């Protein structure tokens, strides 16, 4: 990744039987005769320059794609929506068009990807323009989603938090949830209106494993845990990893947080909450 990009031969686009393709740190020129990679099932791209075409053209001409991972470049939501066979999607949100993308459009994407089982979104340096409050949600927008990973959720950004709650709530078959929190010390996390949150019913009958990283014990984080415990009858474990051992102000602060979590109603009698203080 620290050397000049490799310029690939155009012959790579003649491999029509190709099923898996990983390209990093390179530039690609597709021939005028390129009609797509009809058998491609997996595509992993990072720091790739398409000289005479777009990433959208590459993926839309690969209709069999089941796994798509993109870490750099530009991509349109409408192009992803055409991949009806997609099962796994890894996507940094800042690669999308900031001016046109709202949180509701991401939720609606699930109705276009009926086979999606694993979704991983990176929120680093991204904030939605649109708010989901007052919108009509499709109850099962992600009907087959089993694993959801949300990187770098800013707990001081209301629109991103509401989106996270909404996305969880419209994934009825979710089994694994992994959230990495980002905290903005300059902006205190706002309290989400309880009426807005209470209108979102998680209803997660299959959720078993939850991991929360960079936890700081804010009211918004506590509220998320409360709803997960209350709406997940199959829950086995919530692993909490504080951002540091100092965020709870010593043993008394730790005891206060632990006591608060113990008082929450649990839909699953087997649910455990493990806090890794160190």
pLDDT tens-digit profile of 144-192? 999 999 999 888 777 888 888 888 988 999 999 999 988 766 555 555 6
Q: Is residue 18 part of a domain?
A: no
Confidence band of 129 (pLDDT split at 50, 70, 90): low
Range of the domain at 149: 76-275
Q: Is residue 45 part of a domain?
A: no
Q: Is residue 183 part of a domain?
A: yes
- Cα 33-39-40 angle, rounded to 5 deg: 90
User: What domain count does the chain have?
Assistant: 1
CA distance 178 to 238: 10
CA distances from 213 to 32, 185, 270, 277 (A): 47, 17, 22, 12
Looking up residue 243, the CATH number of its domain turns out to be 3.80.10
Going across the sheet that includes 237-242, the strands are 6-7, 20-28, 42-50, 67-70, 88-92, 118-122, 147-154, 176-182, 209-215, 237-242, 272-275
Q: Is residue 52 part of a domain?
A: no
Q: pLDDT value at position 77?
A: 87
Which residues, other chains included, contact 79 with Cβ-Cβ below 8 Å and sequence gap of 6+?
Answer: 55, 56, 59, 60
Q: Is residue 269 part of a domain?
A: yes
Q: What is the DSSP letter of 62?
A: -
Q: Is residue 144 part of a domain?
A: yes
CA distance 60 to 64: 9
Confidence band of 14 (pLDDT split at 50, 70, 90): confident
For residues 38-62, average pLDDT: 89
Reduce the DSSP state of residue 106 to 3 states and report it: helix
Per cent of the chain over pLDDT 70 is 87
Residue that the structure tokens 């800042």 belong to: 94
Is 103's pLDDT higher than 50?
A: yes
Residue that the structure tokens 């009958």 belong to: 205
Q: Is residue 238 part of a domain?
A: yes
Helix and strand totals (H; E) in the chain:
7, 11
Q: Is residue 35 part of a domain?
A: no
């Amino acid at each position: 990744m620290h050397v000049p990009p490799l310029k690939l031969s155009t012959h790579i686009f003649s491999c029509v039987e190709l099923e898996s393709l990983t390209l990093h740190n390179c530039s690609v020129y597709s021939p005028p005769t390129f009609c797509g990679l009809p058998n491609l099932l997996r595509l992993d791209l990072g720091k790739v320059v398409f000289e005479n075409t777009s990433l959208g053209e590459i993926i839309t001409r690969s209709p069999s794609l089941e796994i798509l991972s993109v870490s750099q470049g530009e991509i349109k939501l409408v192009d992803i929506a055409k991949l009806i066979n997609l099962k796994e999607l890894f996507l940094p949100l800042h690669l999308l068009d900031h001016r046109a993308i709202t949180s509701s459009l991401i939720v609606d994407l699930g109705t276009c990807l009926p086979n999606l089982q694993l979704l991983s979104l990176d929120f680093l340096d991204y904030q939605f323009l649109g708010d989901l409050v007052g919108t009509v949600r499709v109850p099962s927008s992600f009907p087959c989603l089993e694993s959801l990973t949300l990187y770098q959720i800013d707990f001081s950004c209301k629109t991103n938090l509401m989106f996270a709650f909404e996305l969880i709530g419209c994934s009825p078959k979710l089994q694994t949830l992994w959230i990495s929190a980002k905290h903005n010390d300059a902006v205190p996390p706002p309290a989400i209106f309880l009426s807005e949150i209470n209108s979102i019913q998680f209803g997660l009958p299959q959720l078993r494993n939850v991991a929360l990283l960079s936890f700081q014990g804010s009211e918004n984080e506590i509220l998320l845990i409360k709803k997960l415990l209350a709406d997940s009858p199959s829950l086995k474990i919530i692993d909490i990893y504080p951002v540091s051992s100092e965020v709870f102000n010593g043993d008394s602060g730790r005891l206060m947080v632990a006591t608060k979590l113990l008082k929450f109603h649990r839909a699953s009698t087997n649910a455990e909450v493990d806090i890794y203080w160190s």
